Structure 1
Amino acid sequence: MAAVPTSAASEQTAEMSASGPVPFDFSQPPMIEGFSPLPRVKEETFKEKFIRKTKENPFVPIGSVATAGALLYGLRAFHQGKTRQSQLLMRGRIFAQGFTVVAIIFGVFATALKPKQ
């Protein structure tokens, strides 16, 4: 009577190759005993993610645009020789950067404190 190979034995032979055992199969996710991953949500495009993040915390893009605007106008004023206006716009840029950083920190804390869905 011939012995029928079990599934564990066939898996072992499948993992063995001419060069020895294959530790990982990178084409498949790892199988972890007792763990079942959640189904993946549809991958977002850059535009969809940007819109979602902007709706979550609209002050970050506002601060970023204000920073870039103050920088560009300040550089333009500097190029035109308007040193007083250039200095004021550079100070405004620093204020806008600070506003953006505070908005990012606030958004991180708000997200951390928000209950999981």
Structure 2
Amino acid sequence: MDDDSFSDRFSKKASQMPLFPIGMVAFACVAGYGIYKFKHRKGPTSLYLIQLRLAAQGSAVGIIGLGLFYNIYKDVIEPKFK
């Protein structure tokens, strides 16, 4: 069993998948926003949950789009300049 620390595992995961830290930050932002808005909501809970789901899905689609553009750049555009 490896005795790697959390920071070692996180840096290894980030080097393998560059969007992993961005996804973690986006999750933390959406979760923080959700907790804050739930505490200060004005209106029905169902409407709040729909809006929170939309924010979570939007961040997921945005991160997938960033990954797509990153891979296009890495595989297509960058080799042309070498």
Q: TM-score, normalised by structure 2?
A: 0.48
Higher helix share: 2
Normalising by structure 1, report the TM-score: 0.37
Structure of higher RCO (CA pairs closer than 8 Å, 6+ residues apart): 2
Tell which structure's C-alpha radius of gyration is larger.
1
